[in-house]
Amino acid sequence: MLLIRFVGGKGGVGKTTLSAAFALSRARRRERTLVVSTDPAHSLGDVLGRTLGDDPVEVWPGLWAAEISGEAQARRRVEQVAEDARHAVPADVLPAVERHLARAAESPGTVESALLDRLTDLVGQVGHRWDTLVVDSAPTGHMLRLLTLPALLTPWIEGLAKQRARAAGTERLVAGMIGDTAEQEPDPLLRRLHARRDRMEWLRTRLTTGALVHLVVVPERLPLAETIRAAESLGDAGLRLGAVLVNRVLPPDDPGLLGRRVEQQTEVLRELERHFPGETVVRLPLLAGALTGIGELAALADLLDAADLG
């Protein structure tokens, strides 16, 4: 079974731990599984007890992990664009273009777009190198921007491509008027724009038809409100919601000082059930231990196996 799963939610609710545990549960089924972190404040390596980078490393038989750096991806991408510009832009304006690209490499939009490029590569490997891809997303707002970026970028790239095509057509017209009949080299910038547009359209289709998003929440009021808003935004973007994972649920008969907290979480759990009647709401108990390393993650993986997230 081929799976693409995103795990998202408010910061501090346990997304990374649950991503790692879910990936472990799939690897134990003999699925080639990759779990990647797209959060700028990576903690996946800490949870797994391994040093991670952009290239996946095997952390358990059948389980690979990676932490993607959007900044590093942006620098590499800008270098590629700069190389294309050197062959397509007049020499007198090239320094200005290079200065602009240097500033663009540090902009949030460029970083997120470059991160999306790397994620597109990994999604494309599902079914070939991997059976399952689990994405430990950044907190909710970042995750929503990343997942909706393909739909936003496609018409923008198309507009750039049309502008470039018009400019190239003008250049060919002028060349013909002055008698330059030499065959024109293909425009590398236009070719790259068309290729990027096609990649974004492909990724948008893959995400809306072949991926599920699991929102993680703890049974408290503030995470509940953010989770409901995130679910609505995902639906508006055409993305499919998987089981909602309620983390760190206290036992209902807990006495003493936690008794009032149990009452509050019961109210939140009831509200979650009302807001997500069509989806599974999975309750995961508060577990002892730091839940780091494969050994401790195994207990959480057992719970996710029992929940049967598909």
pLDDT in tens, the chain (310 residues): 679 999 999 889 999 999 999 999 999 999 999 999 988 888 999 999 999 999 999 999 999 999 998 777 767 766 776 666 676 666 776 676 666 666 666 665 677 778 888 888 999 999 999 999 999 997 777 777 778 777 766 665 666 566 656 665 544 544 444 444 445 555 666 677 778 778 888 888 898 899 999 999 999 998 999 999 999 988 888 889 999 999 999 887 766 657 778 888 999 999 999 999 877 899 999 998 888 999 999 999 999 999 989 8
Q: 251 is written with which tokens? A: 């036992």
Query: Nearest to residue 39, comparing CAs of 124, 146, 123, 121?
Result: 146
Q: Taking the mean position of all CA atoms in its chain, how far away is CA 257?
A: 39
Alpha carbons 225 and 268: distance in angstroms, whole number? 10
pLDDT of residue 198: 83
Three-class SS of residue 177? helix
Residue 187: the pLDDT is 64
The confidence score (pLDDT) of residue 28 equals 97
**E-only strand ranges, 93-146:** 132-136
Alpha-carbon 79 to chain mean position: 23
Q: What per-residue confidence (pLDDT) applies to 178?
A: 44
Contact residues for 256 (Cβ-Cβ < 8 A; gap 6+):
none
The model's pTM: 0.81
Q: What is the token pair recorded at 6? A: 């995103």
Single-letter amino acid, residue 294: I
Residues 51, 52, 53, 59, CA torsion sign = positive
Closest CA to 15 of 248, 298, 251: 248
Q: Which of 77, 48, 41 is nearest to 63 (CA)?
A: 48
